[in-house]
Amino acid sequence: MDRSPPLPGPDEVRGPRCLSDPLINKGTAYTRDERVRLGIEAMLPPRVEALDEQAARVLVRVRGKTSPLEKYLYLSALRAENETLFCRVVLDHLEEMLPIIYTPTVGEACLEWSSIYERPRGLYISAVQHRGRIAQLLRNWPRSRVGIIVVTDGGRILGLGDLGANGMGIPIGKLALYTLCAGVPPELCLPVALDVGTDNEPLRCDPHYLGERERRMTAEPWDALLEEFLAATQAVFPGAIVQFEDFNTACAFRLLQRYRDSLCCFNDDVQGTGAMGLAGLYTAGRITGRKLSGQRILFVGAGEACLGIGNIVVAAMQREGWSEAEAKQRCLFVDSQGLVIAGRKDLPGHKRPFAQDRGPLPDLSAAIENFKPTALIGASGKGGLFTESVLRAMARLNERPIVFALSNPTSKAECTAGQAYAWTDGRAVFASGSPFDPVPFGGRVHAPGQGNNSFVFPGVGLGLLICGARRVTDEMFFAAAQALAAQISEADLEQGRIFPVASRMREVAAQVAAAVAAVAYAQDHATKPRPLDLRAEAARVMYEPRYA
């Protein structure tokens, strides 16, 4: 019998590249035959491992690291070597791993980015060096097809402010979630940091800072750079979806307004967070027994996240019978300068539509006494704003006060889960942007939900991909919110959980994707033939980390 291994196929990659391309590399899982055939014999230790055995070994290493940042670095190194193995380990332990590869650890990684930087991933487009040549530079990307681009200019990274080029951790982290949570193949994902300078002076003065040491570009030159970048994305990767991520507020709203009708683009901080917030209010309403139209919502923060939730909530309340003006009266916003009211001269255009005709109030507690909210939603980027007196006031006014502390990372949460339950006598219906452990209080264990747009954007992206959408519409995010809310069972609600557990991310993403694609077909924004069963199609195309 001929025992010689089969000859390599005509397109098969051979030699050391088998070990250096993370999308191909199997490491110790290459069989003996493969090692001979591909010319990599003796380049690996003798024993052949199965993927599961490799994953078990990696897990021991990750768990052995003492800090979350060390775990992040180890997993990043693994990913640069073997994407399949990285995805297998993280996907099989999502609840444990998401806080490491995403919030809160990704925030720490961005703060330290220049000092922990080890290897290239994604594209850094510099306003100083690359203006006028962006299309040419996008062609440096080693993959010819790109489905989703996540781009930031580092203007407002999580609640950590302007981090310039150090913001790259966010597009990388978001795209990891696309792959892990919605099965978008890693080779279709392109993270981009647009380095337009930074107004973060300590960063500019940091000798290790790796970005341009310029003040942040603004106004017309910034607009022109974005115009060039977006045109280049479509010239080089036609039809690629563009997700705007962690731009500062004014830029974010301007970008969305300018490009939403001409590109397949969306802003996750505004629209994704909006859909997540609406889903949370729907499920919280099942506990409090109050429909959305019966809620009075006090938003603490009037930036991308809170206004994003406000916009979709007003549209949803209109579906329940209120006029737009009536719905807006049920949403009151507080920002760093106080109540968002018509009398204020400093209000930028994106806050004006929510300015109410009422007088100023001295603080948050006064706003609660005066407005009598049923729900308190914080996305201010300021940790600890929900003090004991604020939460006790909410508990006095409501049998089941809804409290969302959405700011990231954990240090910026408006309150902790423990505080939310303790200061409302265990009655709060609570969710937070970054995860908190279950809290024992009053003889039962409360399971806080993670109110994070990671339940929305991966499924939205997958939905847009499966139908080949040309545009992203508000109706798609409304459908995404409904699909997410429908994932919460009565058993979840009994534990006080109003968002799914992280381990169900893929199931949720398939439902969200199907809902989004259905809207695209109904609104005639789809370019691919409609599959019979959208949910099944979403599940079918999901990337599974296993070796070819």
Distance CA 412, CA 94 (A): 23
Single out the residue of 169, 121, 174, 110 nearest to residue 143, CA to CA: 121
Q: Which is closer to ligand NAD, CB of 68 or CB of 468?
A: 68
Q: Which of 162, 228, 335, 492 binds ligand NAD (CB under 6 A)?
A: 335
CB contact at 8 A, 282 and 481: yes
User: Interface with ligand NAD includes 158 (CB under 6 A)?
Assistant: yes
Bridge partners of residue 299, in order along the sequence:
333, 377
Place of tokens 């115009």: 227
User: Interface with ligand NAD includes 152 (CB under 6 A)?
Assistant: no
Supply the minimum distance, in Å, between the C-beta of residue 453 and ligand NAD. 4
CB contact at 8 A, 109 and 117: no
Residues with Cβ within 8 Å of residue 46, at least 6 apart in sequence: none
Q: Which two tokens stand for residue 360?
A: 């100023």
Concerning whether 26 is annotated as a catalytic residue, the answer is: no
Q: Which is closer to ligand NAD, CB of 195 or CB of 269?
A: 269
User: Interface with ligand NAD includes 433 (CB under 6 A)?
Assistant: yes
Distance CA 242, CA 262 (A): 12
Q: Tell me whether residue 261 is exposed, middle or buried, using C-beta atoms within 10 angstroms of its C-beta: 0 to 12, 13 to 18, 19 or more.
A: exposed
CA dihedral 396, 400, 401, 404 (to 10 degrees): 150
Q: Which of 179, 233, 295, 452 binds ligand NAD (CB under 6 A)?
A: 452
Q: Which of 49, 108, 153, 269 binds ligand NAD (CB under 6 A)?
A: 269
CA distances from 534 to 239, 413, 520, 523 (A): 20, 37, 11, 15
Supply the minimum distance, in Å, between the C-beta of residue 447 and ligand NAD. 17
Concerning whether 102 is annotated as a catalytic residue, the answer is: yes
User: Interface with ligand NAD includes 336 (CB under 6 A)?
Assistant: yes
Residue least distant from ligand NAD (Cβ): 303
User: Interface with ligand NAD includes 505 (CB under 6 A)?
Assistant: no
Q: Which of 380, 416, 419, 511 binds ligand NAD (CB under 6 A)?
A: 380
Supply the minimum distance, in Å, between the C-beta of residue 65 and ligand NAD. 25
Supply the minimum distance, in Å, between the C-beta of residue 265 and ligand NAD. 17
User: Interface with ligand NAD includes 303 (CB under 6 A)?
Assistant: yes
Q: Which is closer to ligand NAD, CB of 234 or CB of 411?
A: 411
User: Which window, 62-70, 303-311, 416-424, 457-465, contacts ligand NAD (CB under 6 A)?
Assistant: 303-311
What single DSSP character describes residue 356? Answer: B
Q: Which of 148, 242, 300, 515 binds ligand NAD (CB under 6 A)?
A: 300
Supply the minimum distance, in Å, between the C-beta of residue 296 and ligand NAD. 18
User: Interface with ligand NAD includes 332 (CB under 6 A)?
Assistant: no
Residues with Cβ within 8 Å of residue 55, at least 6 apart in sequence: 85, 88, 89, 92
Catalytic residue among 30, 72, 102, 421: 102
Q: Which two tokens stand for residue 42?
A: 């003796």
Q: Which of 82, 273, 374, 511 binds ligand NAD (CB under 6 A)?
A: 273
Catalytic residue among 174, 328, 351, 412: 174
Q: How many residues at the interface with ligand NAD, by CB under 6 A?
A: 30
User: Interface with ligand NAD includes 381 (CB under 6 A)?
Assistant: yes
What is the CA 350 to chain-centroid distance, rounded?
22
Residues with Cβ within 8 Å of residue 211, at least 6 apart in sequence: 114, 124, 126, 154, 164, 165, 166, 195, 197, 198, 203
DSSP H or E stretch at residue 267 = strand 265-267
User: Interface with ligand NAD includes 431 (CB under 6 A)?
Assistant: no
47: left (phi over 0), alpha (psi -120 to 50) or beta: beta
User: Interface with ligand NAD includes 309 (CB under 6 A)?
Assistant: no
User: Interface with ligand NAD includes 167 (CB under 6 A)?
Assistant: no
Chain residues binding ligand NAD by CB under 6 A are 156, 158-159, 249, 269, 273, 276, 300-306, 334-336, 379-382, 385, 406-408, 412, 433, 451-453
Active site residues: 102, 174
